[in-house]
Amino acid sequence: METTIERSFEISGIGLHSGTTTCVRVLPAKAGEGRYFVRVDLLECPSIPARVEAVRQTALSTELATAAGAVGTVEHLLAALAGSGVDNARIEIDGAEVPLLDGSAKVWTDAIAQVGIIPLSQTRRVASLHAPIWIQEGDSFVAALPAPEIRFTYGIDFPYQAIGNQWHSWSPVSESFVEAIAPARTFGFADQIEQLRQAGLIKGGSLENALVCDRCGWLNPPLRFANEPVRHKLLDLVGDLSLLGTIPVAHFLAYKASHKLHVQLAKALCTLALSSS
């Protein structure tokens, strides 16, 4: 059955790119409503669906928008909801960017677990994929392959000794999102910080909410996993694919991908006639 949270919860924090503090209140929603944001700070409190058709931009995060309002850096909260099995949620926010918190989805999944999840009266429809889809840009790609159960496999390759080449494969059937993926934090590079800030990005980034490395190693160890960076990229992929509403049964494969490629894959999946069960 479809689900929602049993009670509401509220969390405040600083946005990664805006550097502005916002408060998020997540509330139960009815069956069929899906996950959606409400900008309570704007006139008439416009609703912004957490759906792929609402994506406006994907530069270092995923932003959703309608004509009446926008909300950015949605991927960690959406990954937490989808990874925890929450189909329907009303997400009220008093600003334009979801807080980064500790850079992972752990604070969100902890809050979801604390308030609980309840079944609703509507059956969850799960789609299956019948033919492969590939989205490629240079040597980066994302793909969805027919499979008997959902699986995510991600690879990254960075010219920093602390990261290098990493791969991780995760199946929600055999391993908990809360334990295996949610704690993985976002990461960045010391030699890119000034350039990004001059571009108006990562104003709220710090060693408290992101892993940062330079050519010599990590500036703020220890890591939560030996391959925490690639697990975080997998977390981002789950958040971006959650914009489909329900993630289809498939093996999702990505290498050196980005929010842009994740969303392109989600859009491609939207155009397919998938079978439901």
Give catalytic residue positions: 259
**Dist. CA 224–CA 71, nearest whole Å:** 29
Are 274 and 247 contacting, i.e. CB atoms less than 8 angstroms apart?
Answer: no
H and E: helices and strands count for the chain: 6, 20
Q: Are 257 and 167 in contact (CB under 8 A)?
A: no
Identify each DSSP E strand in 80-210 by its residue range.
Answer: 89-93, 117-119, 127-128, 133-137, 140-145, 151-157, 165-170, 187-189
DSSP 137-165: ETTEEEEEE--SS-EEEEEEE-SSTTTSE
Q: Are 163 and 221 in contact (CB under 8 A)?
A: no
Rounded to an integer, what is the distance from CA 144 to the centroid of its chain?
17
CA–CA distance, 73 with 95 (Å, rounded to integer): 12
Amino acid at 160: Y
CA 199/CA 187 separation, integer angstroms: 18
